[in-house]
Structure 1
Amino acid sequence: MKPKKVPGIPSQVKGGFHDTESIHKIHNNQEIDSKFDILKEKFFDINKWGDYCKQGSIEFTLCDSSGNVVHRIPQIGDYIKILLAKISNPKIEDYQWVQIDMIDKSNPDRLMIQCRPSKLPGNNFAGKTIHFYAAGSSSTFVISKGKDYIKMAIYGRNESPNKNTDFLSSIKNSFIALGGMAGSSKIQWQCLADGLIGEK
């Protein structure tokens, strides 16, 4: 299966990929705008994303460019730290860090947030990528609406293991990334997409 060619989504060059989509059909056209407005509120409230994935224990936290937790609409340059499993008193290395490098609001019917694996906030010119995928990978989150539907989608591209780290972490990243490319991360992203769209 080949990756979908979606406007605004990076081209697939190497590594794994996924196209995760959830569509909610709406037969009453008058409800589309109101339901899309609700979806937009969920979409831009990143700190609550984990609440919508009932089947998993994933946690998302929006941070500013200095790494401080913030409760606002995301901005380009912000970070999202992701905890993939419930851990008591998690340490920095227990999180996966990504940085928002694109937010597109130019089309009122289609909104996008794109992230890439990153170094720790404040470490732009030093340090190692704190994510199991390499810095060249991307995750693009997209919400849209049509004449009879609203849609939440997540597109992963160029997902390769992060080896820009110490030896043991490199091995761990390879195992996690291979599991992700084999489908485990697809399940988590589907859970999030379904939860945000309100289908499950």
Structure 2
Amino acid sequence: MNDEKNLIPPQQTGRATDFSEEKKYPSKAEAHAGFKKTADKFLNINQWHEYSGAGSAIFTLCNNQGEPASGYAAKGALMSIELPVPGSDAGKGLEWVMIEDMDAHSDARAPEEFIAMIVRPCPEPHETRTEIAHFYQDISTSTFIVKRSGKVVSAAVHGRNETPNNANVDLHDKVRNTLVALSARVGLAGPQWKKLVKGLLAH
């Protein structure tokens, strides 16, 4: 895959969101070093809360069985997300997503280099139930991209097809998911992603 934007699914329904931040370096060599540092932070999901600061969601990297894991993000792994709002029944208080795909291209001599990851809501891994454990339906995706273009390094989050998960869940989750999704729609999710992309670039 030559273009990181190929990882962003087409917008078909619901809402689309885009949050990005960039940092310019004095030289291409320094930008490459900055890209490598930012990519390292990006892959270290267990530290995202620290990069985002107080009041932000807590992200935990998990294996495909839902057990907390150390190390870097990888395709097929799961992430649990503890939001600063009441949790769902389906997720036992957490939101769950799967890392559906990843791609990367790193070359200090190239005009551009990137690392990208797409995540999608999924069921709670410890349960046999198939309800999606997230306030968005599983048609929704978030694509995270760290990129260097020339002397500029950027970090971005692209949400696509963001649709409230208010079908095939219990009454509590139907009300809760609708309210959380509506809160995200009116702008309460923006600060979380803005703080994350700024935090990834801060070094």
Alignment: residue pair count: 190
For residues 175 and 36 of structure 1, the distance between their equivalents in structure 2, rounded to whole angstroms, comes to: 37
Structure 2 unaligned blocks of 5 or more: 107-112
Q: Which residue number in structure 2 is paired with residue 112 of structure 1?
A: 116
User: Is 1:166 the equivalent of 2:170?
Assistant: yes
Structure 1 unaligned blocks of 5 or more: 1-5
Q: Which residue number in structure 2 is paired with residue 81 of structure 1?
A: 80
Q: Which residue number in structure 1 is paired with residue 66 of structure 2?
A: 67
Deviation at 1:186, TM superposition (A): 1.5
Within 5 Å, give how 1:10-25 maps onto structure 2.
Answer: 10-25=9-24
Cα deviation digits, residues 79-111 of structure 1 (max 9, x gap): 100111289xxx952211101110112x22111
User: Is 1:140 the equivalent of 2:143?
Assistant: yes
- In the alignment, residue 176 of structure 1 is paired with which amino acid? V
Q: Which residue number in structure 2 is paired with residue 3 of structure 1?
A: none
When residues 54 and 21 of structure 1 are mapped into structure 2, their CA distance, relative to the original with a 3 A threshold, is same
Task: Report if the CA contact (8 A) 1:132-1:177 is conserved.
Answer: yes
Cα deviation digits, residues 41-89 of structure 1 (max 9, x gap): 10111100110112533111000011111111222211100111289xx
SS at match of 1:7: helix
Q: Which residue number in structure 2 is paired with residue 93 of structure 1?
A: 92
User: TM-score, normalized by length of structure 2?
Assistant: 0.87
Cα deviation digits, residues 121-155 of structure 1 (max 9, x gap): 255x7331110001110001000001121010000
Q: Which residue number in structure 2 is paired with residue 35 of structure 1?
A: 34
For residues 194 and 154 of structure 1, the distance between their equivalents in structure 2, rounded to whole angstroms, comes to: 11
Deviation at 1:16, TM superposition (A): 1.2
Q: Percent identity?
A: 30
Task: Report if the CA contact (8 A) 1:65-1:122 is conserved.
Answer: no
User: TM-score, normalized by length of structure 1?
Assistant: 0.88
For residues 10 and 47 of structure 1, the distance between their equivalents in structure 2, rounded to whole angstroms, comes to: 25
- In the alignment, residue 162 of structure 1 is paired with which amino acid? N
SS at match of 1:133: coil
Of the structure 1 ranges 41-50 and 67-76, higher mean CA displacement relative to structure 2 is found in 67-76
Q: Which residue number in structure 2 is paired with residue 181 of structure 1?
A: 185
For residues 46 and 101 of structure 1, the distance between their equivalents in structure 2, rounded to whole angstroms, comes to: 15
Deviation at 1:25, TM superposition (A): 1.1
SS at match of 1:57: coil
- In the alignment, residue 72 of structure 1 is paired with which amino acid? G
